């Protein structure tokens, strides 16, 4: 049985990601890989949105992915899980790069002025294809974690699941230092989004702990204190680190960043389980297209940045909302088109003919 609150968390978080990438594209904090600041403001106070969501929204997605993996494996075999995850996650991040995402790589190169580097066309195509990974880092890591999970399941033979079911409120709180320690290991240099320690622990935590109904009931009962704590941590984090690079060392290794990320994720799970565990035609529509929105939204945002913002054709007051609209139009539009083309729906979206 599908959990409506998980579907709602998933599409809602993807919407937050789209909004985040608009501010990220034109950030005034010097984050690399974007166009950067386009306003004349000395301080872009609206950039605080990035600080509000960044510490927890990807941690939350990996937790939800862990819970969803447990629900899937209750009704399917390891072989079916491996096959479905490989088609849905690995194919778009390998074959999909050469079938479509090289377009994103080209735009990325033009934004960073790297497209003028002399090289044979074949070499440039390979560079653009690899550079087109972009937001696909999440599903890359999710596929890897899913395969490792199958190995762990064979070794622990259900003992960890039984142990996770005994989790109470105190144990949930005692997991805070675990997430802090996980955030210190497995962080790749340069490409800072690959945080293997933190996200793998979040994924396993979702599978072995948060997938139990008893634990969800605890989060539902204590949703208000968790949300209050998250707000306090959020304000503290924004005041302390606003203006600094929140996505790299040393900020993303700090106790405040990681504690806020953990508590913020739990508060969202409790909030949605308590108030949004239901389905409507709107949520069903959003949930059915959240994956495509995630895959394609950045292409719309970065295209506006390259063709309109970089040459300063339009003022910033127009660029920001236009970028947001372009993110949703590209996300939903390309998903609708490519999901109907036989080869590309498999290569780019991991949709098999049977599922379609």
> 300-317 pLDDT, tens per residue?
999 999 999 999 999 999
Q: Long-range contacts: 192-200, Cβ < 8 Å, 24+?
A: 192/247, 192/248, 192/252, 193/58, 193/137, 193/247, 194/137, 194/141, 195/252, 196/141, 198/59, 198/258, 198/261, 199/58, 199/59, 199/62, 199/141, 199/145, 200/62, 200/141, 200/145, 200/148
- Split at pLDDT 50, 70, 90, the class of 353 is confident
Interval 144-148 mean pLDDT = 97
Interval 337-353 mean pLDDT = 93
As a whole number of angstroms, the distance between CA 32 and CA 224 comes to 37
- Model's pTM, two decimal places? 0.95
Q: What is the pLDDT of residue 165?
A: 94
- Split at pLDDT 50, 70, 90, the class of 23 is very high
pLDDT of 339 strictly over 90: yes
Task: Report the percentage of the chain scoring pLDDT > 90.
Answer: 90
pLDDT of 34 strictly over 70: yes
pLDDT of 343 strictly over 90: yes
pLDDT of 356 strictly over 60: no
Task: Report the percentage of the chain scoring pLDDT > 70.
Answer: 98
pLDDT of 33 strictly over 90: no
Q: What is the pLDDT of residue 178?
A: 97
pLDDT tens digits along 70-123: 999 999 999 999 999 999 999 999 999 999 999 999 999 999 876 667 778 899
Per-position b or e across 39-52, b if 16+ CB within 10 A of its CB: eeeeebeebebbbb
């Amino acid at each position: 049985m599908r959990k409506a609150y998980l579907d709602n968390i998933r599409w809602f978080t993807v919407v937050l990601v789209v909004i985040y990438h608009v501010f990220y594209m034109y950030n005034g904090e010097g984050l690399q890989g974007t166009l950067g600041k386009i306003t004349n403001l000395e301080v872009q106070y609206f950039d605080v949105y990035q600080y509000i969501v960044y510490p927890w929204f990807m941690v939350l997605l990996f937790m939800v992915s862990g819970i969803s993996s447990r629900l899937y494996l209750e009704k399917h075999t390891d072989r079916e899980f491996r096959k479905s995850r490989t088609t849905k996650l690995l194919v778009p991040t390998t074959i999909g790069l050469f079938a479509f995402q090289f377009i994103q790589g080209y735009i990325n190169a033009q934004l960073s002025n790297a497209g003028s580097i002399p090289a044979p066309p074949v070499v440039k195509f390979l560079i653009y294809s690899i550079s087109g990974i972009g937001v696909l880092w999440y599903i890359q890591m999710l596929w890897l974690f899913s395969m490792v999970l199958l190995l762990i399941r064979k070794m622990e033979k259900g003992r960890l699941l039984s142990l996770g079911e005994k989790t109470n409120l105190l144990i949930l709180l005692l997991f805070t230092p675990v997430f802090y320690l996980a955030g210190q290991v497995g962080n790749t240099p340069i490409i800072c989004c690959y945080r293997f320690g933190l996200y793998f622990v979040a994924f396993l935590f979702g599978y072995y702990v948060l997938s139990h109904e008893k634990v969800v009931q605890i989060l539902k009962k204590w949703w208000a204190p968790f949300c209050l704590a998250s707000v306090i941590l959020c304000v503290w984090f924004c005041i302390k680190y606003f203006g600094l690079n929140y996505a790299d060392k040393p900020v993303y290794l700090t106790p405040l960043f990681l504690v806020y990320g953990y508590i913020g994720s739990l508060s969202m799970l409790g909030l949605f389980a308590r108030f949004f565990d239901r389905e409507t035609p709107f949520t069903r529509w959003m949930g059915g297209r959240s994956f495509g929105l995630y895959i394609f939204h950045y292409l719309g945002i970065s295209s506006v940045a390259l063709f309109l913002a970089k040459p300063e054709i339009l003022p910033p007051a127009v660029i920001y909302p236009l970028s947001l609209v372009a993110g949703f139009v590209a996300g939903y539009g390309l998903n609708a088109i490519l999901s109907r083309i036989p080869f590309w729906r498999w290569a780019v979206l991991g949709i098999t003919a049977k599922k379609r």
